[in-house]
Amino acid sequence: MPDLIAPHGGRLNDLYLQGTELEDERTRARDYPSWDMSPRQLCDSELLLNGAFSPLSGFLGKDDYERVCTDMRLGDGTLWPMPITLDVSEAFADGLEPGQSIALRDLEGVLRATLEISDIWTPDRELEGERVYGTRDLKHPAVDYLVNRSNPVYIGGKLKGIDAPVHYDFKHLRDTPAEMRARFKKLGWRKIVAFQTRNPMHRAHQELTFRAAREVEANLLIHPVVGLTKPGDIDHFTRVRCYEQLLDHYPEQTTALSLLPLAMRMGGPREALWHALIRKNYGCTHFIVGRDHAGPGNDSNDEPFYGHYDAQDLLVEHQDEIGIEMVPFKMMVYVQDRAQFVPADEVREGEVVMNISGTEFRRRLQEGLEIPPWFSYPEVIKELRRTHPPRHKQGFTLFFTGLSGSGKSTIANAVMVKLMEMGDRQVTLLDGDVVRKNLSSELGFSKEHRDLNILRIGFVASEITKNGGVAICAPIAPYARTRAQVRELITAGGGFVEVHVATPLEVCEERDRKGLYAKARAGIIKEFTGISDPYEVPESPELRVDTVGVTPDQAAHRVIVKLESLGYIR
Ligand code: PPS
Per-residue pLDDT in tens (0 to 9) along the chain, 570 residues: 344 556 656 678 899 999 999 999 999 999 999 999 999 999 999 999 999 999 999 999 999 999 999 999 999 999 999 999 999 999 999 999 999 999 999 999 999 999 999 999 999 999 999 999 999 999 999 999 999 999 999 999 999 999 999 999 999 999 999 999 999 999 999 999 999 999 999 999 999 999 999 999 999 999 999 999 987 788 999 999 999 999 999 998 999 999 999 999 999 999 999 999 999 999 999 999 998 999 999 999 999 999 999 999 999 999 999 999 999 987 889 999 999 999 889 999 999 999 898 889 988 988 889 999 999 999 999 999 998 888 888 999 999 999 999 999 999 999 999 999 988 789 999 988 889 999 999 999 999 999 999 999 999 999 999 999 999 999 999 999 999 999 999 998 899 999 999 999 999 999 998 999 999 999 999 999 999 999 999 999 999 999 999 999 999 999 999 999 999 998
Q: Is 450 in the pocket of ligand 1 (CB under 6 A)?
A: yes
Total structural domains within the chain: 3
539 & 400 share domain: yes
Q: Is 445 in the pocket of ligand 1 (CB under 6 A)?
A: yes
Ligand 1 atom closest to the CA of 405, numbered from 1: 31
Instruction: Tell me whether strands 353-354 and 332-335 are parallel, antiparallel or unpaired.
Output: antiparallel
* Residue 382 is assigned to a structural domain of this protein: no
549 & 437 share domain: yes
Report which residue type is found at 436.
R
- Name the 3-class secondary structure at 436: helix
Range of the domain at 270: 172-333
* Residue 405 is assigned to a structural domain of this protein: yes
What is the reported pTM? 0.82
Q: Is 475 in the pocket of ligand 1 (CB under 6 A)?
A: yes
431 & 560 share domain: yes
Contact assessment for residue 536 and residue 480, using Cβ atoms and an 8 Å cutoff: yes
Residues tagged active-site: 197-199
The residues, ordered by sequence, that sit 6+ positions from 29 with a Cβ below 8 Å of its Cβ are 101, 103, 111, 114, 162
- Sign, CA dihedral 235-236-237-240, equals positive
Find the helix or strand (DSSP H, E) in which 289 lies.
strand 286-289
What span, in angstroms and rounded, lies between the C-alpha atoms of 261 and 284?
17
CATH number at residue 509: 3.40.50.300
**Residue to probe by mutation, ligand 1, list 401, 410, 445, most atoms within 8 Å of CB:** 445
Residue 233, number of CB atoms within 10 A of its CB: 15
Ligand 1 atom closest to the CA of 475, numbered from 1: 8
325 & 232 share domain: yes
**HSE (side-chain half, CA atoms, 13 Å) at 172:** 4
200 & 123 share domain: no
Taking each continuous run of H as one helix and of E as one strand, the counts in the chain are: 20, 19
Contact assessment for residue 388 and residue 234, using Cβ atoms and an 8 Å cutoff: yes
Ligand 1 atom closest to the CA of 435, numbered from 1: 7
Contact assessment for residue 325 and residue 319, using Cβ atoms and an 8 Å cutoff: yes
Q: Is 451 in the pocket of ligand 1 (CB under 6 A)?
A: no
Find the helix or strand (DSSP H, E) in which 334 lies.
strand 332-335
Ligand 1 atom closest to the CA of 453, numbered from 1: 4
Of 333, 355, 371, the domain-final residue: 333
- Name the 3-class secondary structure at 401: strand
Cis peptide before 55 (omega within 30 of 0): yes
**Residue to probe by mutation, ligand 1, list 525, 529, 531, 533, most atoms within 8 Å of CB:** 529
Q: How far is the CA of 530 from the centre of ligand 1 (A)?
A: 11
